Structure 1
Amino acid sequence: MTLISILIIISAYLLGSISSAILICKILDIPDPRYFGSKNPGATNIFRIAGYKIAILVILFDVLKGAIPIWLGYYLEISSNSLGITAIFSCLGHMYPIFFKFYGGKGVATAFGALTTINVNLSIIMISTWLLTVLSFGYSSLGAVISALIVPCYTWYFQPQYSLPTIIISSLVLIKHIVNIKRLWNHQEKRIWRN
């Protein structure tokens, strides 16, 4: 692994560690998402606290956190193995940010940003899977879980060299959703919109 690859991987983690949800809420004088709602600094909780416009802004920044390091890696022509590790570290930064005592979001948007940059077809299928699930059942967490379960299959079909990093990222997303999975199983999970 080259020095450039190592620097990009470190930068991916540090960029991922910048919590857009917390910073945007602070700038706009919105309650800190770590202390309200689900207490998760992610777009779904922001949607419930501050509405869809702020949630979209958070999603956009979180997607870019995953995409920018991959774009940079492509530009600097690092290896596919290094690109895969970069994607993993972007997500680790978002989930376990060094700037926020390692308490972060669940990594869905950042994972999407990283993986979508690898293949456009993959991004279309990921969005479709998430949207179809959420619109059908109303649970953002269920959309994330189902997407995480099947995205490695999509990756294997479109970009097989990234299968292992995708499996790792999907596993991290599922681990961060364990509480949601339990609530879904017990019919206690809140829908993204009220009934």
Structure 2
Amino acid sequence: MVMNFLFLIIAYLLGSIPSGLWIGQVFFKKNLRDYGSGNTGTTNTFRILGPSAGILVFAIDFLKGTLAVWLPIVFHANGWSPIVFGLVAVLGHTFPLFAGFKGGKAVATSAGMLMGFSPVYCLFLLAIFSITLYLSSMVSLSSVVSAGFAIITVIVFPAFHFILPEYDFLFTVIIVFLGGFVIVRHRENIIRIQQKTENLVPFGLNLTKQAPIKK
């Protein structure tokens, strides 16, 4: 039990590492909060600091979720599902101790958590994300659509023993919560999508004909 509480703290601190904020300040002398959307996550890092920094931030944020899930497995801390530690890392990423409790939108770290706990399901949702990104040219819409698919499929798939072979109550509750959480965190993006002013990536079909406001 003591080990579990210790790993919960480690998972939160791991999630709290504000990779985008620190990389911007140390290597680019820029505070991401002063540029673009003001978010310190992967998308704004790509937009402001470039692809290399964006890929690095995504990798770090992704691994935070995976490592948190692996912690209790590697050290044989029994009693609690590893998904709990992944959830705590996601919350740390979103409300980071080291960045004034203002963090990212939970997408990359949630994906990393899923990769550590249910890799095939994670790859399924990454495929949904990738297809939506190509069709829409929007990371935000891709995140929201993937979150919606997660909420639906975590309930439906076990009934057909597809990808998720059986119901895991705790896993289901956490995925439904995180799916809703990701959607809520993107509420400003959703408004911009409705107004057709959402930011785009430089590829894809932009089927919804977004026209971002130039700044």
**TM-score, normalisation: structure 1:** 0.92
Deviation by residue 1:5-35 (Cα, 9 ceiling, x = unmatched): 2211121111111100011112212421111
Comparing 136-145 with 79-88, greater Cα deviation is found at 79-88
Distance 1:85 1:72, change over 3 A: same
Q: Which has the higher contact order (CA 8 A, sep 6+)?
A: 1
Name the structure 2 match of 1:184.
193
Shift of 1:81: 4.6
> Greater helix share, 1 or 2?
1
CA contact (8 A) 2:36 2:44 kept: yes
Aligned counterparts of 1:25 and 1:8: Cα–Cα separation in 2: 29
Name the structure 2 match of 1:69.
68
Name the structure 1 match of 2:114.
115
Question: Which structure's CA Rg is the greater one?
Answer: 2
Aligned counterparts of 1:30 and 1:56: Cα–Cα separation in 2: 18
How many residues are paired up? 194
Of the three residues 160, 163, 170, the one matched with 2:167 is 160
Name the structure 2 match of 1:53.
52
Deviation by residue 1:21-65 (Cα, 9 ceiling, x = unmatched): 011112212421111011000111111112111100000000011
Name the structure 1 match of 2:25.
26
- RMSD of aligned Cα (Å): 1.8
- Structure 1 residues 130-145: aligned runs within 5 Å: 130-145=129-144
CA contact (8 A) 2:70 2:82 kept: no
Name the structure 2 match of 1:17.
16
Unaligned runs of 5+ in 1: none
DSSP-derived class of the 2:17 partner = coil
CA contact (8 A) 1:5 1:82 kept: no
**TM-score, normalisation: structure 2:** 0.84
Distance 1:80 1:180, change over 3 A: farther
Aligned counterparts of 2:190 and 2:88: Cα–Cα separation in 1: 24
Unaligned runs of 5+ in 2: 158-163, 204-210
AA in 2 matched with 1:173: V
Among all aligned residue pairs of Structure 1 and Structure 2, give the percentage whose two residues are the same amino acid: 30
AA in 1 matched with 2:35: F
Distance 1:86 1:137, change over 3 A: same
DSSP-derived class of the 2:113 partner = helix
Comparing 117-126 with 153-162, greater Cα deviation is found at 153-162
